[in-house]
Amino acid sequence: EVTYTGRKPPQSWKGSPAEDRLDLDTLDQAATHFEGSARQAATLYPKNANVAAAVALAGAGFEATKVRLIADPGIAANIHEVKASGAFGSFTFHIEGRALPDNPRSSALAAMSVVAAIERQQSAIVILGIAFGYPVYPHCRPCADPPETASAQASDRCRPAG
């Protein structure tokens, strides 16, 4: 069983179906405005439920992942909690991300994740210490030989790592 709970300040839910279920301007305590599957959440809240969709894709799937979305005037961060249990045991993790000033639906963590993903795509592909068929050593990428036995050809191929 996998459950994702998304808790955000009321202004983060503006422009979403939460406005039809709650008075976001006068809310004085936390209120759940959605409970259902990750598929339903992603369909109804396309600008707010991206973490629910990611959890579903990474785990039990869109139908099996349960989602609860909460507007909470008592918090300043976007809070994501995932609980999972099964034959393996159970786990819970909790993430609090500061909302972006220009887009309170998202957090700085999301923006930093995009930057990190782009940086990873720009770097050389390294799998199990081998890049493009050559061994990889900490000092260079890619090299055929370690530095103490490097041939002239291998030295020509070496580029500084990082």
HEC string of 66-93 equals: EEEEEECCCCCEEEEEEEEEECCEEEEE
Active site residues: 80
Kindly report, residue by residue over 41-76, the tens digit of the pLDDT.
999 999 888 889 999 998 899 999 999 999 999 998
How many whole angstroms separate alpha carbon 78 and alpha carbon 25? Answer: 18
The CA-based dihedral angle spanning residues 116, 119, 123, 129, taken in that order and rounded to the nearest 10 degrees: -10
Q: What is the pLDDT, as a whole number, of residue 94? A: 92
Q: With a threshold of 0.75, does the pTM exceed it?
A: no
Side by side, which strands form the sheet with 65-71? 31-37, 65-71, 2-8, 77-86, 89-100, 103-107
> CB under 8 Å to 91, separation ≥6 — which residues?
83, 84, 85
* SS3 category, 139: coil
What sign for the dihedral angle of Cα 7, 84, 49, 64?
negative
Amino acid at the residue 137: Y
Segment 96-122, tens digit of pLDDT: 877 666 765 566 666 566 666 677 766
- pLDDT of 96: 87
Which pair of structure tokens corresponds to residue 6? Answer: 């998304």
- What confidence score (pLDDT) does residue 148 get? 47
pLDDT at 21: 96
Cα(121)–Cα(83) distance, integer angstroms:
30
How far apart, in whole angstroms, are the C-alpha atoms of residue 100 and residue 102? 6
Residue 75 and residue 33 in contact, taking contact as beta carbons nearer than 8 Å:
no
